[in-house]
Amino acid sequence: MTTLDERHGEGARDGDGHRGEIALGQVEAYGPAPVPSAVVPLGRPGSELPRIVGSKAANLARAAGAGLPVLPGFVIPHRTGGDVIDMVALRRAWHELSDGGTRPLVVRSSSPQEDTEESSLAGRFDSVLDVRGWRDFLAAVQRVLDSAERPDGSTAPMPVLVQPMLAARVGGVMFGADPVAGRADRMLVSAVRGGPDSLVGGARTGTGYWLGTHGRLLRTEAAGTADEAWPQSSTGTRPESASTGPLLTRAELFRLARLARRVRKVFGGPQDVEFGFDADGRLWLFQSRPITAMAARPARGARLLGPGPVAETLPEQLAPLEEDLWVAPMARGLAAALDIGGTAPRRLLRSVPVVRTVSGRAAADLRLLGTVPPRHRWLALLNPAPGARRLGAAWRVGRLAAALPGLATDLVADVDRRLAEIPSPTTLSGTALAAELRWTRRVLVSLHAQEALAGALLHEPPRSRTAAGTALTALTEARARGVPDDQVTAADPVVLALTAPSLGGRGRLSNAALPPTDDLSSAALAIHAAPFVRAAQPGTNTPSTTNTPSPAGTTTTPTTAKASSAALPPREALRLRVRWVQ
């Protein structure tokens, strides 16, 4: 590993060149490079080459060459093999930068492997601050070199950057683009009193400022922690006394935005910048590196997809056949409901599916469903089209709200009748099975449309019965009777409400402890005993048999006279039929 010759302490003099050497051991090479000088001042030709001075110093040298406010300094280049450095040049550079040892310095790592486009490696290597005196300077350099040792035993190339220590009034981090939203027209500033290192290291939370491209303040977010403790800064900054005034003024925010634009122009893209304002109000650039975690910016007009409300119906990854049987009818049904309610343009509903699959999982257009706000709220308020659509649909919605319970009851009865007539799929011919599948696609469109309208138009009491609660009661009773789980759905198909639809086999029931039956509403038992037996009503032909085929082709025996789909509210009854049809 790299070591310093400890013989050269405070007694070393400029004339002791034959004794003043830094012995460098074997270090991993980082590409071919010319043999560097003992020290490379920032701004000197060659100081912009990362393979010689490292990424951090090269970026600062490039910024300084472009006229950006960079502190002076020098770099001890990375060397390979048994190369030695003349101590005369190193001591002369230290003497000039520290003003004869009276000015404190900061000794920083500048590995070519940090501050790159692929990874910043922030905090991976050491930096030593407030370095005073020649002996302490040599020890600080050795500490930085020692931090180049990797966990696997290898050693990273490690040039060492030396700069003066700056007393900063305010410091922080500035992103030339919003890395979370992926917006290049936004800048994000996080600032604290003192230098930026306590912010970068996570010791303090900074005050956040969201800026426009030219420094217009868009939003401010106060710091979550107080600034009573200030760790010293490894970027060469020391905090001044606290002030009760604003952390950053509008003028300083404009200056930061201007610096971000200049840095972006120099490096060809938005940068992650560390900065500081000194006691005289001068702005300094401590570090510049590429933003490594920039989110992808959606294309203009891109759709915002997410699981949203469809995840409750289709929570798991779907096979291609399941997508065709279940997702397409759901998209058509929700589009019909949105069209009836006038909440989306008909032209858009015809051209853009409300629900689609992404890698086999159902995803809804969240803006069409209204689960996320529009991109431009003020423009949406000024747009007369939504109001006109709702006005045109008002008469339909008003009449539909009164008729929807009856429509839902009729649809539930029709579905129950048809399901009761379907024999076991194993006994169906290919033609008959295809006909039944076509029916399921048609009826799912109606079920999804009415279920969405019922959720939007019908008021249900807060403690109304649900299909899931009824299913839990049925499962508890079945297990109490000793019915195996693989036979529960044949005896009580309402339990299907607790499982995800799948063509690969029956859904697995949870082994978690269920609540006692007494804890659930006794009225919730009304549906689970015989879900496909219609209640006797005047003017209808009710089957006289007590054994009604279930969707799986098995026999369901009703255990109570209350068995009726009317025991659930319309929306829950429709939702349960969706699961049965699936």
pLDDT tens, residue by residue, 116-148: 655 555 557 888 888 999 999 999 998 988 888
Q: Hey, what are 248's tokens?
A: 């950053």
Q: Hey, what are 38's tokens?
A: 């003992």
Who wins on pLDDT, 242 or 37?
A: 37
Who wins on pLDDT, 410 or 560?
A: 410
For residue 568, what pLDDT is reported? 87
Q: What is the mean pLDDT of residues 89-117?
A: 85
Q: What is the pLDDT of residues 323-341, one digit of tens each?
A: 999 999 999 999 998 888 7
For residue 257, what pLDDT is reported? 95
Q: What is the mean pLDDT of residues 463-469?
A: 82
Who wins on pLDDT, 247 or 485?
A: 247
Query: 23 with 1: CB under 8 angstroms?
Result: no
Who wins on pLDDT, 199 or 437?
A: 437
Q: What is the mean pLDDT of residues 5-32?
A: 38
Residue with tokens 């029916």: 439
Q: What is the mean pLDDT of residues 460-471?
A: 81
For residue 173, what pLDDT is reported? 93
Task: Evaluate if residue 232 carries a pLDDT over 70.
Answer: no
Q: Left if phi > 0, otherwise alpha if psi is -120 to 50, otherwise beta: which for 471? A: alpha
For residue 330, which of 353, 349, 297 has the smallest C-alpha distance? 353
Q: What is the mean pLDDT of residues 145-169?
A: 85
User: What is the Cα–Cα distance from 85 to 195, expressed in whole angstroms?
Assistant: 32
In eight-state DSSP terms, residue 313 is T
In the chain, the domains with their CATH numbers are 1-164 (3.30.1490.20), 165-297 (3.30.470.20), 305-456 (no CATH), 467-504+515-536+547-581 (no CATH)
For residue 566, what pLDDT is reported? 46
Residue with tokens 């040049």: 89
Q: How sure is the predictor about 1, in pLDDT bands with cuts at 50, 70 and 90?
A: very low
Classify 217 as helix, strand or coil.
Answer: strand
Q: What is the mean pLDDT of residues 208-226?
A: 83
Q: Could you tell me which residues are beta bridge partners of residue 156?
A: none
Q: How sure is the predictor about 396, in pLDDT bands with cuts at 50, 70 and 90?
A: low
User: What is the Cα–Cα distance from 32 to 50, expressed in whole angstroms?
Assistant: 11
For residue 83, what pLDDT is reported? 63
For residue 244, what pLDDT is reported? 56
Q: How sure is the predictor about 554, in pLDDT bands with cuts at 50, 70 and 90?
A: very low
Who wins on pLDDT, 36 or 400?
A: 400
Task: Evaluate if residue 11 carries a pLDDT over 50.
Answer: no
In eight-state DSSP terms, residue 557 is -
User: What is the Cα–Cα distance from 375 to 381, expressed in whole angstroms?
Assistant: 12
Alpha carbon distances (Å) from 235 to 43, 126, 199, 566: 19, 11, 12, 72
For residue 521, what pLDDT is reported? 35
Who wins on pLDDT, 456 or 191?
A: 191
Among the listed ranges 99-103, 120-124, 521-525, which one has the minimum average pLDDT value?
A: 521-525
Q: Is 110 exposed, middle or buried (0-12, 13-18, 19+ CB in 10 A)?
A: buried
Who wins on pLDDT, 340 or 533?
A: 340
Strands (E), 102-148: 105-109, 127-131
User: What is the Cα–Cα distance from 518 to 505, expressed in whole angstroms?
Assistant: 32
Q: What is the pLDDT of residues 274-286, one digit of tens each?
A: 999 999 999 999 9
Q: What is the mean pLDDT of residues 536-558?
A: 37
Q: What percent of the chain has pLDDT over 90?
A: 29
Q: What is the mean pLDDT of residues 421-432?
A: 89
Q: Which range scores top for mean pLDDT: 4-18, 111-125, 297-311, 501-515?
A: 297-311
Classify 167 as helix, strand or coil.
Answer: strand
User: What is the Cα–Cα distance from 199 to 284, expressed in whole angstroms?
Assistant: 17
Q: Is 320 exposed, middle or buried (0-12, 13-18, 19+ CB in 10 A)?
A: exposed
Among the listed ranges 37-41, 105-109, 382-386, 550-554, which one has the minimum average pLDDT value?
A: 550-554
Strands (E), 263-405: 271-278, 283-290, 305-306, 355-358, 361-365
The one-letter amino acid at 391: L
For residue 32, what pLDDT is reported? 41
Q: How sure is the predictor about 536, in pLDDT bands with cuts at 50, 70 and 90?
A: very low
User: What is the Cα–Cα distance from 109 to 163, expressed in whole angstroms?
Assistant: 11
Query: 21 with 87: CB under 8 angstroms?
Result: yes
